Amino acid sequence: MKRQPLYGLMAEFHSAEELLEAAKNTYEAGYRRLDAYSPFPIEGLADTIGFSRTRLPVLVLLGGLFGCCGGFFLQWWPNVIGYPLNVGGKPYDSWPAFIPITFEMTILCASLTATFGMLALNGLPAPYHPTFNVPRFAQATKDRFFLMIMAEDPKFDPEQTRQFLAELNPREVSEVES
Q: Average pLDDT of the chain? A: 93
Residue 68 lies in a domain: yes
Q: Does residue 67 sit in the same domain as residue 115?
A: yes
Q: Can you tell me the distance from the alpha carbon of 65 to that of 69, in angstroms, rounded to the nearest whole number?
A: 6
The answer to whether residue 1 is domain-embedded is no
Q: Give the confidence band of 178 by pLDDT, cuts at 50, 70, 90.
A: confident
What CATH number should be reported for the domain holding residue 157?
Answer: 3.30.70
Domain contains 134 = yes
CA distance to 26, 81, 106, 119, 169, per residue, from 48 (Å): 9, 56, 36, 24, 18
Considering only CA atoms, which of 129, 144, 167 is closest in space to residue 19? Answer: 144
Cα(124)–Cα(110) distance, integer angstroms:
19
Picking from 8, 36, 33, 9, the residue whose alpha carbon sits closest to that of residue 22 is: 36
100 lies in which domain range? 56-121
Query: For 75-122, how does the pLDDT look when each residue is reduced to its tens digit (9 = 90+)?
Result: 999 999 999 988 888 889 889 999 999 999 999 999 999 999 999 999
The β-bridge relationship of strands 145-150 and 172-177 is unpaired
The stretch 124-145 carries a mean pLDDT of 90
